Chains A and B, each alone.
Chain A
Amino acid sequence: MSNRFVDQGLRAPVNVTWEVTLACNLRCRHCLSSSGIAAPNELTTAEALDLVEQFSRAGVFQINFGGGEPFIRPDFPQILDACHQRGIMTCISTNGTLLDQTLVERLAKSRLVAIQVSMDGADRKSCDLLRGDGTYETALKAVALLAKSSIPTSINTVLTAANAADIPELHNLARTLGVSLRVSRFRPSGRGAENWEELRPTPRQLLDFSQWLTASGDVRTGDSFFSLTSQERQGLGLNLCGAAKLTCCVGPEGKFYPCAFLQQDDFLAGSIREQSLQQIWDESPMYESFRRLRIHSCEECQRFDQCHGGCPAVAWHLKGRIDGGDPECLENCVTMADA
Chain B
Amino acid sequence: MVSLQQACRVRKERFGLLFYDCRGPRLLFAETGDLLEPGFFTGEVSVAETLERLTQAEQRKVAGLLSNLAKKGFIREQQIC
Which residues 1-28 in A have Cβ within 8 Å of B in the complex? 3, 5, 8-12, 14-15
Are B25 and A62 in contact (CB-based, < 8 A)? Answer: yes
In the complex, the number of residue pairs spanning A and B with C-beta atoms less than 8 Å apart equals 45
Judge whether A285 is part of the interface by a CB distance below 8 angstroms.
Answer: no
Tell me, in angstroms, the Cα distance from A114 to B21 when the chains sit together: 13
A245–chain B nearest beta-carbon distance, Å: 11
* B27 proximity list for chain A (CB < 8 A): 14, 238, 246
B8–chain A nearest beta-carbon distance, Å: 9
Chain A interfacial residues counted at CB < 8 A: 20
* A91 proximity list for chain B (CB < 8 A): 22
Judge whether A61 is part of the interface by a CB distance below 8 angstroms.
Answer: yes
Are A5 and B9 in contact (CB-based, < 8 A)? Answer: no
Please name the residue on chain A nearest to B19 by beta carbon.
Answer: A61
Tell me, in angstroms, the Cα distance from A10 to B15 when the chains sit together: 9
* B29 proximity list for chain A (CB < 8 A): 3, 5
Size category of the binding interface on chain B: 10 to 19
Instruction: State which of B13, B14, B15, B26 has its C-beta within 8 Å of the C-beta of A237.
Output: B26
* B14 proximity list for chain A (CB < 8 A): 8-9, 11
Judge whether A89 is part of the interface by a CB distance below 8 angstroms.
Answer: yes
Are B15 and A111 in contact (CB-based, < 8 A)? Answer: no
* A114 proximity list for chain B (CB < 8 A): 22
Judge whether B79 is part of the interface by a CB distance below 8 angstroms.
Answer: no
Judge whether A134 is part of the interface by a CB distance below 8 angstroms.
Answer: no
- Beyond A61-B9, A238-B27, whether A89 also contacts B22 by CB under 8 A is yes
Tell me, in angstroms, the Cα distance from A105 to B72 when the chains sit together: 31
Judge whether A320 is part of the interface by a CB distance below 8 angstroms.
Answer: no
Are A89 and B9 in contact (CB-based, < 8 A)? Answer: yes
* A12 proximity list for chain B (CB < 8 A): 11
Which residues 20-36 in B have Cβ within 8 Å of A in the complex? 20, 22, 24-27, 29, 31
- Beyond A61-B20, A111-B6, whether A237 also contacts B25 by CB under 8 A is yes
Tell me, in angstroms, the Cα distance from A246 to B20 when the chains sit together: 11
Please name the residue on chain A nearest to B42 by beta carbon.
Answer: A87
Tell me, in angstroms, the Cα distance from A59 to B31 when the chains sit together: 18
Q: Can you pick out 20 interface pairs between chain A and chain B where the beta carbons lie within 8 Å of each other? A: A3-B29, A5-B13, A5-B15, A5-B29, A8-B15, A10-B13, A11-B14, A14-B18, A14-B20, A14-B27, A15-B25, A61-B22, A62-B22, A89-B9, A89-B22, A111-B6, A237-B25, A237-B26, A238-B26, A238-B27
Interface residues of A (CB under 8 A from B): 3, 5, 8-12, 14-15, 59, 61-62, 87, 89, 91, 111, 114, 237-238, 246
